[in-house]
Amino acid sequence: MVPRGRGAREGDRSGGVLQCAFPVSPSAPLEPRETVRRKALALGFHRVGVARAEALAVDHPRYLSWLARGLPPGLGYLAENVHTRARVDTPEVLEGARSVVVCALSYHRGDEPGPEGIARYARGRDYHNFLRKRLRRLAAFLRVTFGAEARPVVDTAPVLERAWARLAGVGFVGKNGCVIAPGLGSYLLLGEVVTTLELPPDEPLEERCGACTRCLDACPSGAFRAPWVLDPSRCVSYLTIEHRGPIAPALREPLGPWLFGCDACQEVCPFNRTAPPSRHSTRDFAPLPRWKDHPPEALLSLTEDTFRALTEGTALVRAGREGLCRNAALVLGNTGSRRHLPVLARAHASDPSPVVREAAGDALARLAARLALAPEEL
């Protein structure tokens, strides 16, 4: 369990939702931090912590150092509002902010069958919608209850979420860059409420990975230059979601079965061996039935209209029709069988996108080589 400040006692977890760590008689008033924490848990968050809204004296320089190594195409937004990300008590975020309430929502649903090749967080509805709604309700609660200003923040805002999660005691940053909450794991989404209300901060969490390098070793594309140092241009999540155009030949086989995103480094993390939260509390991440009818070979036949219909309300819309079909072709080249040869041949000959046609042709050749087929058999 995450430390809840000095003198905090460990609470229990029921149904995967963290309960109050400070038993209080029904008539005793709760102190503000615990009032806010209980409200956040009632809204469905699995872990909550508080940090002072101070300048990020350690994490912001690390972020600048990472940017200095260069960003691949499609990630330029990470270099925007560079100085804004140093602190949240400014007009760009919330002038006069005193505290950052960090909320973590787990999307871990255990061994539930799901669509192969789609990262766990993206199998259900687009998390931005329901995560933002919960944060807005928490911010409204702070305004009404304490008369404080409060701004809800998700990952579309210029805020270094992982830094605030560490400072708020929600989790530590693992060697793969994911926030790991002890007792909950790393399958987490983060959101914050920045507020002018001054709340006692929780104890920050420092890393607990020790000598373990399982996440680094499991990366299929060798994207980690060192612990905590990711080369985004090699990351499977970047390649399948943000990258536009052809994928470099050397990085096509490392995609393996991944159509959208990648969970490889999280699947091997020992901290994810913990029991997942209740299915009810993670119901928004349940795999959508539509994926059952759309394996990679079916995705290759999508038009712009059918792509929009299939991905509406999900994170997969971000890849675009061309990107998702390109990924599907390469996945079939990596994992397909003889029955997929006609599908790839058709896409290679007639897909409207030259990027997809090229990917299908490459996949067709690689699949044929893997099946030891002669050219006349294609």
Catalytic residues: 155
In angstroms, rounded to a whole number, what is the distance separating the alpha carbons of residues 188 and 181? 8
Region of 296 on the Ramachandran plot (φ > 0 left; ψ -120 to 50 alpha; else beta): alpha
Q: What is the largest CA-CA distance in the chain?
A: 83
Residue with tokens 């994926």: 291
> How far is residue 183's CA from residue 300's CA, in Å, rounded to a whole number?
40
Q: Which amino acid is at 297?
A: E
Residue 326 · residue 242 · CB < 8 Å? no
Contacts with 76 (C-beta within 8 Å, 6 or more apart), sequence order: none
Q: How far apart are CA 157 and CA 159, in angstroms?
A: 6
Are the C-beta atoms of 134 and 103 separated by less than 8 Å?
yes
For 70, residues 6+ apart whose C-beta sits below 8 A from its C-beta are none
Q: Which residues, 6 or more positions from 244, have their beta carbon under 8 angstroms from its beta carbon?
A: 73, 74, 320, 322, 323
Two tokens, residue 30: 């709760």
